[in-house]
A = this chain, B = another copy of it.
């Protein structure tokens, strides 16, 4: 049985933004990175743009609909800001079992995340202030 979440890669750094089209235009113009078209994900309460870097990606998240998971963050940080980091694991249920005594999990079962993979969030108070998502990504 594994004794830690056994994270592998940083899947993405999520940045909450008030206007994802404006944010994407600024990031493309300044960084010169490849930026996707905005994708509305109503079941996740966000419109997302992916900013592809060589080794990972940034995800720009604009609230969509009511009860968006980034709405409260933007009330406190109206200009936007870093919202969460997402770390890859091979088996999210095994990771949850391994860390459940050390960190509070925000759901008792994995949910299906924006990439179609099982995910769980760890409470930021148990991760030194950082909202941390674990995403199950099968190893190729």
Q: Which residues of A contact B (CB under 8 A)?
A: 2-10, 13, 15-17, 23, 26-33, 53-56, 58, 60, 77, 79-82, 85, 87, 99, 102-103, 122, 124-130
Structural contact, A9 and B127, CB atoms closer than 8 A: no
Query: Which of A8, A16, A129 gathers the greatest number of chain B CB atoms within 10 Å?
Result: A129
Q: Tell me the minimal C-beta distance from A66 to chain B in angstroms.
A: 23
What 9 pairs between A and B have smallest CB-CB spacing? A4-B32, A80-B129, A81-B129, A80-B128, A82-B82, A79-B129, A55-B55, A23-B128, A7-B31
Partner of A79, one of B2, B7, B28, B128: B128
Partner of A56, one of B56, B82, B102: B56
A135 CB to closest chain B CB (Å) equals: 13
Q: How close is A106's CB to chain B, nearest CB, in angstroms?
A: 14
- A87 to chain B: which residues have CB within 8 Å? 31, 53
Cα of A13 to Cα of B84 in the assembled complex, Å: 11
